[in-house]
Amino acid sequence: MRRIFLLRHGKTEWNGQFRYQGKSDVPLNEEGRLQAQRAALRLTSLDIDAIYASPLSRAKETAHIVSRTLGVPIKGFYEELCEMNFGAWEGLTAPDIERSYAESFRLWRRNPEKVKIPKGESFTEVVERVTCGMKKILNDAGENILVVAHGGSIRAALAGLFAMDISASWRIRIDNCSLTSMELGSDRVMLAFANDTLHLLVDDEGLVPNLPVLV
């Protein structure tokens, strides 16, 4: 049975300010780099044999940190794995958006698949492109696959792989540098765990390469 691990990138300054990032190329901050290092150590026990990532710098740097620690090269950066394009909302906080785009923001919070963000994407479009990217990866990769992406694109991957209701997939919490895992059999996909951040709860002196894995 093949395993897929979905890793959200580490924290950025905009994450700390609760700003919508989307396609804006915001880099990791120091906390985000430490989170990526902790995630990398967690992954050392999982026999990862293929790494793929979004080309946005926050995901790319997270993937490089993991790659160096595991000694596993990154096989590709896929545009399909990029975060949702939030268009006119990028760089804004939720209160900013609510003031300027009240009606569409309220609908977005209830049914994100029904909203086409000004100058951006709908979540339905994100699911379509991420599903396309995941199909390419699954046709190419090995048994234990790591995909480094974003909160929105990870939710989109789950929606595509599980044929989930799109609106429901956006209600899955995906924290910075959290791990989500699935097992792929010949005829079904099973969720092993979601939004696992155990590796981020260890203090700096407690970092070890064999933290427990919930599989």
Q: Which residues form the catalytic set?
A: 9, 83
DSSP 163: T
Q: Is 193 exposed, middle or buried (0-12, 13-18, 19+ CB in 10 A)?
A: middle
Distance between CA atoms of residues 104 and 110, nearest Å = 10
3-state helix, strand, coil in the chain (%, to 5): 45, 20, 35
| Cα dihedral 83→158→96→35 (10° resolution) | -70
Where is 154: in which H helix or E strand?
A: helix 151-162
Q: How many helices (H) and strands (E) does the chain have?
A: 8, 6
In sequence order, the 6+-apart residues with CB closer than 8 A to the CB of 52 are 63, 74, 75, 76, 77, 78, 81, 137, 141, 145, 146, 147, 148
